[in-house]
């Protein structure tokens, strides 16, 4: 096999391109978030870098939700997905992935985007801070959400779980707040801006957050303390996919030294475990080799840096990605042990699903919830959801 250095490109055959030391098909397919989203814009930037440097066409299939992004990957019609934490929900077989036509999915990571400077957190209006006796939100903590009006989004269990996690950090539950239901994520932020609700969940760099910050009720992001073990245990007990970050980008964060907040990788580049290891290896290598070409191509794209990778997260890496990470000197015995544990977890969930499918209970949802819990507990594994 002959290789070329960037920016030299050669076609080995009509369907294959080689650049630097990676080899990919002339067309690579990827599902992503909806058009206009941060995830979609990053996929476009990556595609532009691949086209310019190696003549590779990245065909992007936008999807409005987790199911529509994962379904073409599951069917083998798309090779990869620039997805979000919904991939973890799919692995766990929870929420919509607990329905009979889905079940636990054997998903795998290539790379994740984390550390771009943004955070995924719960905002509170400055008006609400005033009402609870914390003018200008000085000293406001998540515990101060007690009794406030909190946004709950119908049909969005993952988003509501994230809000629940921040409530748990503050020692609260849904019973401690006034729940206000909204039909969608955007609607919840409209309610935040007009004062219908005191707190809403979102990404710090969203247009909604900037609009809220300049609105009549203002916006404040409460901080977390990663050294507060009890609070973090409550937080991660609800949503184990969160990681602490120093947030420097977003509404009322730009130009500051940052604030300790919660986040999780977004997007994540994933595939199924059955995806060809050589293809995954070369896609991972391409993402790293072309990083400088796309890191400024879309807001947040700098988070794909190799040094930003988290090797003890909640989804295992694909064997092809691991091969590259080993070559790059980034893979450790600790990472391998954690990865093996996550694959074992998938094995436990897959077996439990297959057993329940054979039983074919009438009340599937409750039966799966009980079966899943029992299987994880029997294996000595944490039960989330």
Are residues 186 and 251 located together in one domain of the fold?
yes
| pLDDT reading at 11 higher than 90 | no
Averaged pLDDT for residues 120-149: 97
* 376 within domain boundaries: no
| pLDDT reading at 13 higher than 70 | no
| pLDDT reading at 12 higher than 70 | no
Are residues 303 and 179 located together in one domain of the fold?
no
Whether the ω angle into residue 7 lies within 30 degrees of 0, i.e. cis, is yes
The pLDDT, as a whole number, for residue 10 is 37
* 50 within domain boundaries: yes
Q: What are phi and psi of 199, to 5 degrees?
A: -145, 140
Are residues 251 and 124 located together in one domain of the fold?
yes
- Percentage above 90 pLDDT, the chain: 84
CB atoms within 10 A of CB 191: 18
Long-range contacts formed by 57-60: CB under 8 A, 24+ apart = 57/26, 57/27, 57/28, 58/27, 58/28, 58/29, 58/30, 59/27, 59/28, 59/29, 59/30, 60/30, 60/31, 60/32
| pLDDT reading at 284 higher than 70 | yes
C-alpha dist (Å) from residue 377 to 80, 100, 255, 348: 32, 22, 46, 10
Q: Which of the two residues, 14 and 42, has the higher pLDDT score?
A: 42
Q: How confident is the model at residue 18 (pLDDT cuts 50, 70, 90)?
A: very low
Which two structure tokens, joined as six digits, stand for 319? 């064997």
pLDDT digits (tens, 9 = 90+) for 349-362: 999 999 999 999 99
* Cα separation, 207 vs 189, whole angstroms: 10
| pLDDT reading at 3 higher than 50 | no
Are residues 313 and 238 located together in one domain of the fold?
no
Q: 204 near 227, Cβ under 8 Å?
A: no
Averaged pLDDT for residues 234-261: 95
* 188 within domain boundaries: yes
| pLDDT reading at 260 higher than 80 | yes
* 237 within domain boundaries: yes
Q: End of a domain among 262, 284, 307?
A: 262
* 365 within domain boundaries: no
Helix or strand holding residue 182 (H, E): strand 178-182
Averaged pLDDT for residues 84-101: 94
Q: 310 near 317, Cβ under 8 Å?
A: no
* 364 within domain boundaries: no
Give residue 215's domain range.
120-262
Are residues 124 and 256 located together in one domain of the fold?
yes
Averaged pLDDT for residues 42-62: 96
- The burial class, CB within 10 Å (0-12 / 13-18 / 19+), for 36 is exposed
| pLDDT reading at 241 higher than 90 | yes
Which two structure tokens, joined as six digits, stand for 291? 């990083």
- CA dihedral (345, 32, 155, 67) in degrees, to 10, reads -60
| pLDDT reading at 9 higher than 50 | no
Q: Max Cα separation, the chain? A: 69
Are residues 251 and 172 located together in one domain of the fold?
yes
Averaged pLDDT for residues 116-142: 96
Are residues 56 and 144 located together in one domain of the fold?
no
| pLDDT reading at 227 higher than 50 | yes
* Cα separation, 34 vs 50, whole angstroms: 21
Are residues 257 and 127 located together in one domain of the fold?
yes
Are residues 160 and 292 located together in one domain of the fold?
no
* Cα separation, 173 vs 169, whole angstroms: 10
- Percentage above 70 pLDDT, the chain: 95
Q: How confident is the model at residue 20 (pLDDT cuts 50, 70, 90)?
A: low
| pLDDT reading at 14 higher than 60 | no
Q: How confident is the model at residue 1 (pLDDT cuts 50, 70, 90)?
A: very low
CB atoms within 10 A of CB 103: 19
Sign of CA dihedral 367, 109, 331, 117: negative
* 380 within domain boundaries: no
pLDDT mean across residues, the chain = 92
The pLDDT, as a whole number, for residue 17 is 53
The pLDDT, as a whole number, for residue 4 is 28
Are residues 154 and 256 located together in one domain of the fold?
yes
Q: End of a domain among 262, 290, 309?
A: 262
The pLDDT, as a whole number, for residue 378 is 98
* 153 within domain boundaries: yes
Averaged pLDDT for residues 44-70: 94
The pLDDT, as a whole number, for residue 87 is 94
The pLDDT, as a whole number, for residue 19 is 53
Indicate the number of domains in the chain: 2
| pLDDT reading at 275 higher than 50 | yes
Say which CATH number the domain at 169 has: 3.40.190.10
Most confident of 6-10, 79-83, 117-121: 79-83
Full-model pTM: 0.84
* Cα separation, 358 vs 355, whole angstroms: 5
The pLDDT, as a whole number, for residue 158 is 83
Pairing mode, if any, of strands 120-124 and 199-203?
antiparallel
Are residues 166 and 187 located together in one domain of the fold?
yes
Q: End of a domain among 218, 238, 262?
A: 262
Are residues 248 and 324 located together in one domain of the fold?
no
Q: Which of the two residues, 182 and 384, has the higher pLDDT score?
A: 182
């Amino acid at each position: 096999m002959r290789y070329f250095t960037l920016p030299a490109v050669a076609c080995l055959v009509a369907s294959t391109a080689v650049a630097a030391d990676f080899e990919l098909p002339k067309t690579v397919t990827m599902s992503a978030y909806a058009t206009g989203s941060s995830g979609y814009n990053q996929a476009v930037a990556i595609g532009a870098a691949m086209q310019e440097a190696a003549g590779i066409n990245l065909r992007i299939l936008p999807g409005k939700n987790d199911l529509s992004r994962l379904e073409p990957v599951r069917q083998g019609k798309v090779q990869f997905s620039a997805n979000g934490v919904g991939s973890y929900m799919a692995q766990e077989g929870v929420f919509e992935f607990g329905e009979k036509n889905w079940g636990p999915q054997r998903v795998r990571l290539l790379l994740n985007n984390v550390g771009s400077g943004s955070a995924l957190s719960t905002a509170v209006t400055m008006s609400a801070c005033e009402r609870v006796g914390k003018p200008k939100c000085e000293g406001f903590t998540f515990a101060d959400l007690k009794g406030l009006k909190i946004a709950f989004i119908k049909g969005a269990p993952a988003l509501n779980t994230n809000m629940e996690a921040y409530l748990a950090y503050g020692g609260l539950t849904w019973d401690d707040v006034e729940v206000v239901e909204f039909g969608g994520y955007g609607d919840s932020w409209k309610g935040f801006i007009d004062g219908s609700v005191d707190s809403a969940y979102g990404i710090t760099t969203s247009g909604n957050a900037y609009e809220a910050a300049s609105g009549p009720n203002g916006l404040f992001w409460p901080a977390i303390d990663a050294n507060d073990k009890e609070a973090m245990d409550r937080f991660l007990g609800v949503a184990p996919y969160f990681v602490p970050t120093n947030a420097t980008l977003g509404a009322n964060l730009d130009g500051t030294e940052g604030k300790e907040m919660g986040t999780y990788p977004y997007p994540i580049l994933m595939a199924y475990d059955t995806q060809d290891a050589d293809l995954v290896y070369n896609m991972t290598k391409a993402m790293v080799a072309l990083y400088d070409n796309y890191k400024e191509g879309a807001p947040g794209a700098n988070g794909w840096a190799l040094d930003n990778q988290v090797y003890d997260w909640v989804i295992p890496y694909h064997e092809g990605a691991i091969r590259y990470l080993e070559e790059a000197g980034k893979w450790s015995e600790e990472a391998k042990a954690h990865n093996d544990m996550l694959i074992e977890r998938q094995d436990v969930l897959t077996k439990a699903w297959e057993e329940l499918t054979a039983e074919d209970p009438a009340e599937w949802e409750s039966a799966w919830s009980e079966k899943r819990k029992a299987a994880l507990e029997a294996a000595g594994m944490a039960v989330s959801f």
